[in-house]
Copies of this chain bind each other. A is one copy, B any other.
């Protein structure tokens, strides 16, 4: 290869055109640095799938060049894929204290803690990664210890914001590093990658502290038990619930596996201030008067197996909702979860609870952790980038964010709206789209990583719509007759008891079809099966307008 001009390549393996599985890559000559490594929750049509992770083929093929994975914060869509990815790509992981704390918990569960090199960083750290140098700046987000990343490359500075908003009254006093950001901007940013999640929302995103006040007001008015559901990972929110409990002389019982986990880590690492004796065990709850108790729980998304959903449906082992209890759902539904949350709210109302859920109004029990349009413009104006790549978002969010960037003075030709796998190549002279790199969704179902693909999903879809009919028949080929059967077994098709006639006629159709085939000397199994599938399919569609999967099993003696 001839000596080329210095060139840096930026691309995403996840997080563009989608919400989740964030994974960004910066390649400077032979050195590769990865930023974040998250999961995505499955789309509705990915039936039976638990989570989705990025396809890292490109990284595995260039394993020896990957210098490390930098993590911006400890949310699942930024760290969740690490246990899978580190199995194929054992490189050091860099993160702040809380981020590593949450990651360690995850790696311990996967039995991978010892095999993984974890390096603690903070906003003072400077990390050499081949010819790249990474530094970090503090941001505000719905989890403490979030940082943005500044990469010095051979062509200039590349900044990745991570998830962020600007909170002028942050709960833990952890202000965003305005000076550091402004300084990076003043020195010159070649390319900015910035969070687009809320690019469609006008204005500034509210402060977490306002939520604390709203929660405190609700606590103040409540006369009986209070149940609060929120994201376990939102430690600021958890802190404010504990603070409100303290102010209102209530004890707090933490329930739900992930909530207990996060609270323990938060206490251990010093991110949660928990007054002595305020936490109580589930068994103590029913011994205290109702007005002295707060239950802090998971389930703010209406998840069926969560503690809140089980309380709402009256199937929790320990706790029952009583008329007059106050339930605060301190979260907004993630798109796609609206119906589950609504169902939970309904069930709670039916049990007589006073349910406080986010109206999105002024005095709301939830605010987003992502910056709205004015936050995004402020970031753009602090960084003053030459090139801009909107990240973290579905296509329309990236598009709107691009317009915001242009409104702050970034030249339209310097904005790159990318899909996952699209690469942007930047040299001292300019930037342009480079080659498309391999990407995709790796589906995780149970222990299987990637063993469920389009054919399996298509079959699940078909099965879910109209069920399956298994047709079993034994033939004597020599005699050209049916020896036994056909027997039809159906699952997910019709109530068998009410459809006896239909199934009897279906039986006849199969017999006739097979007999005709044998008379015509069609002896190939494949053809026999195809004929059964076609004739029976046609009959059933005509009678029921349904198309169950038909699985003929033809045995020969």
A residues engaging B (CB < 8 A)?
A: 17, 43-44, 47-48, 200, 202, 335-336, 338-339, 342, 345-347, 349-350, 355, 359, 361, 394-396, 399, 445-448, 451-453, 455-457, 459-468, 470, 472, 474, 484, 489, 491-495, 498-499, 543-546, 549, 551, 553, 555, 557
Contact = CB atoms under 8 A, between A and B. Distances in A.
Contact of A464 (B47, B339, B474): B47
A17 to B, nearest CB: 7
Nearest to A359: B200
Contacts of A465: 47-48, 460
A390 to B, nearest CB: 12
Q: How many copies does the complex hold?
A: 2
B396 A355 contact: yes
Given A452-B494, A456-B492, A557-B557, A446 B544 contact: yes
A457 B544 CA distance: 16
Contact of A395 (B338, B349, B455): B349
Contact of A342 (B48, B335, B489): B335
Given A339-B44, A460-B463, A545 B446 contact: yes
Contact of A491 (B459, B484, B498, B546): B459
Given A463-B492, A468-B491, A448 B345 contact: no
Contacts of A48: 464-467, 492, 546
Contact of A349 (B342, B396, B446): B396
A453 B446 CA distance: 28
Nearest to A43: B339
A109 to B, nearest CB: 14
A173 to B, nearest CB: 35
17 contacts: A44-B44, A44-B339, A48-B464, A347-B395, A355-B396, A446-B544, A447-B545, A455-B495, A456-B493, A456-B494, A459-B491, A459-B492, A463-B467, A463-B468, A468-B491, A472-B555, A491-B551
A495 B451 contact: yes
Contact of A544 (B448, B464, B498): B448
A350 to B, nearest CB: 5
B460 A492 contact: yes
A489 B552 CA distance: 11
Interface SS of A by simple majority: mixed
Contacts of A448: 494, 544-546
Contacts of A350: 395
A405 B346 CA distance: 19
Residue among A349, A396, A492, A493 facing the most chain B CB atoms (10 A cut-off): A492
Contacts of A467: 48, 456, 459-460, 463
Contacts of A462: 492
B460 A461 contact: no
A460 B456 contact: no
Nearest to A543: B447
A44 B337 CA distance: 11
Contacts of A553: 470, 472, 489, 553
Enumerate the 6 nearest inter-chain pairs by beta-carbon distance, A residue then B residue, closest first. Answer: A446-B545, A464-B464, A463-B463, A459-B492, A48-B465, A460-B492
Nearest to A454: B495
